Amino acid sequence: MMHAFVGGAPALDFAGTLRYRHRSVPREDLHSTESLGVWFRESGITEYEIPCELSDLREALVLREAVYRLILDRMSGNAYDPDALALVNDYARRPTPVPQLTRAGRQVEASLQQAFAAVAQNAISVLGGPEASLLKECGNPECSQVYIDRSRGALREWCAMDPCGNRMKAAAYRARKRLSGRKATASVRP
């Protein structure tokens, strides 16, 4: 897979395609028209890659940032940004992909606009639904992935064990080792 799907909802994963937002130089996962088409297939919104043009990619990035803005507003308890809210609601009013039954089984084809509508409707379902209170940002200080914490007791700290959880656990282990090494050195001194 080219893309990561750890948020628990397509809208969260779509917003997470700009990875490591807290770094001075974030990583863009929607770096080409092909990567956008692949994202829709890998997300399950459609079964086939959607052909995209450069203008489509620019439109996707605007939608992504509006979704991310609404997620941040919801998590912080702020009023929704009116421009982001209007944009997402506009996309959500549009038709979404329609599954079809064929001899081969279920099949979903979608236009790019239908795929955008599916993301917008999912964002509304997440932000306006019962799981909105379970939204968390990854505990890795560099990672900005938002996810739904469905763990028992809502104790999940990272978007995923690989790579964020593993990195944070390894860093904590190294810090404990350094601290125990310092304590041992201090107790040996005369």
Question: What is the tens place of the pLDDT at every residue in 151-182?
Answer: 888 888 888 766 776 666 666 667 777 777 66
Chain mean position to CA 56: 20
- Residue 129: the pLDDT is 97
How far is residue 143's CA from residue 66's CA, in Å, rounded to a whole number?
19
Please report whether residue 23 resides in a domain: yes
Q: What is the CATH number of the domain that holds 79?
A: 1.10.3300.10
How many domains is the chain partitioned into structurally?
1
Contact assessment for residue 122 and residue 70, using Cβ atoms and an 8 Å cutoff: no
- Encode pLDDT of 10-59 as tens digits: 999 999 999 999 999 999 999 999 999 999 999 999 999 999 999 999 99
Please report whether residue 166 resides in a domain: no
**Lowest pLDDT segment from 110-119, 123-132, 158-167, 178-187:** 178-187
- Residue 1: the pLDDT is 78
- Residue 172: the pLDDT is 63
Mean pLDDT of the chain: 90
Long-range contacts of 87-92 (CB under 8 A, 24+ apart): 87/62, 87/63, 88/63, 88/120, 88/123, 88/124, 89/120, 89/124, 90/120, 91/63, 91/116, 91/117, 91/119, 91/120, 92/117, 92/120, 92/121, 92/123, 92/124
Please report whether residue 1 resides in a domain: no
Q: Is the pLDDT of residue 2 over 70?
A: yes
Please report whether residue 180 resides in a domain: no
- Could you list the residue range(s) of the whole structural domain that residue 83 is in? 10-159
Please report whether residue 40 resides in a domain: yes
Task: Calculate the alpha carbon distances from 47 to 11, 99, 107, 118, 124 in Å.
Answer: 17, 10, 7, 14, 23
Average pLDDT over residues 95-103: 94
Please report whether residue 62 resides in a domain: yes
Across the strands, what pairs with 148? Answer: 135
Please report whether residue 140 resides in a domain: yes
DSSP string, the chain: --S---SSSHHHHHHTTEE-TTSSS-EES--SHHHHHHHHHHHTS-SSPPP--HHHHHHHHHHHHHHHHHHHHHHHTPPPPHHHHHHHHHHHTS---EEEEETTEEEEE--HHHHHHHHHHHHHHHHHSGGGGGEEE-SSTT---EEE--SGGG---SS-IIIIIHHHHHHHHHHHHHHHHHHHHHHH--
- Residue 154: the pLDDT is 81
